[in-house]
Amino acid sequence: MTVEHGQRVTITHESKCLLANPLGDPHLRTVEVLLPPGYRSDERLPVVYWLPGYGATASLTSRSIVFGGSVAERVRTGMAQGAIPRALVVVPDCTTAYGGSQYINSPACGDYSDYLAEVVAEVDQRFRTRPGPAWRAIGGKSSGGYGALVAGMRSDLFGAVLAHSPDAGFEHSYLGLLPGALDTMRDAGGVTAFLGRRGTGPHDGQFMVAMSLLAMGMCYADEVPSDPADTLPCDPETGVFRPAVWQTWLRHDPVRMVPGHLGRLRDLRLLHLDTGQRDEYHMHWGARALHATLAAHGISHTYGEHDGGHQGIEHRFIESLSLLKQLWRGDREGAR
């Protein structure tokens, strides 16, 4: 365990469920734990698990934009001012050779939902936490927001979910990106040649979008593919659409998952969705569809839209984390 300036702890976790993952990715992972201001090792604290988006570093301590502080600094300031409840903020590393895992169990990528459960157990063992889902929240942006939603639906570990601009309504968030991604792969000489450029960075936005769609295909695949190109919703050479492959993607769409997970969704004490009205990847339409679907099934949740896009929305994280203040304050008062 490494402590930096009394604000950040990093622990190395040896994962059992990632030991033989199909991509050969490391099973030794670094987990970042942000400590609240004035942290005392004898106090019991709730925990927020924060999931970074696709391609992002598994840390909140680096500056997210040129001007302004890191997310970690914003969070600590919010805690010091009382806007956010005192808590440990844990950032797990669930990256893969394709850039991201969507935080789910995948035959083609590895069991990252199970890995999240391992991290929860590790944190509860190493720190004086308030154990139990009532004292755990999970949140994130983009793929991280997706991972938080799926964890809230499929796991009983978390009592609160905070999802910013999550991957949802896949016809909105993915299909519109597909033609440009196919052009990028074709310009690189095909999917195999394109994948060979992964370690040659830095990469531009077009590369990252194309890479993310290949990553999604791997994450959502029902089995280990003989060729990663086979996981795309259309043939990268001819453009012919593959309805059967697309259906494997849609089974993981939060909008379509809602009816099958009503029990867990009703058990959540807080479910918050947040999206920008100018999202460059049209994820606001997926968020709107998810909001409408949750409402149609009587699932209690809060929903917000802001006049922003997909990037530069770190201030929204602080607003959503502040929702935990009332939730956890009520628990403390009830426990007295």
Distance between CA atoms of 144 and 52, rounded to whole angstroms?
5
pLDDT in tens, 315-329: 999 999 999 998 998
Look up tokens 């280990």; give the residue: 224
Q: Is the dihedral of CA 168, 172, 178, 181 positive or negative?
A: negative
Q: For 52-84, write each residue's pLDDT tens digit.
A: 999 888 899 875 554 457 899 999 999 999 999
Per-residue pLDDT tens digits for 222-235: 999 999 999 999 99
Confirm whether pTM is higher than 0.75: yes
Confidence at residue 84, expressed as pLDDT on a 0 to 100 scale: 95
Extended strands (E) in 107-239: 110-111, 136-141, 160-164
pLDDT, position 220: 98
pLDDT tens sequence across 243-302: 999 999 999 999 999 999 999 999 999 999 999 999 999 999 999 999 999 999 999 999
Burial label, 299 (beta-carbon count in 10 A; 0-12, 13-18, 19+) = middle
Reported as a single tens digit per residue, the pLDDT across 137-193 is: 999 999 999 999 999 999 999 999 999 999 999 999 999 999 999 999 999 999 999
In the structure encoding, which two tokens stand for residue 280, read together? 């460059």
Other Cβ atoms closer than 10 A to 16: 11
| Contact present, 167 and 249 (Cβ < 8 Å) | no
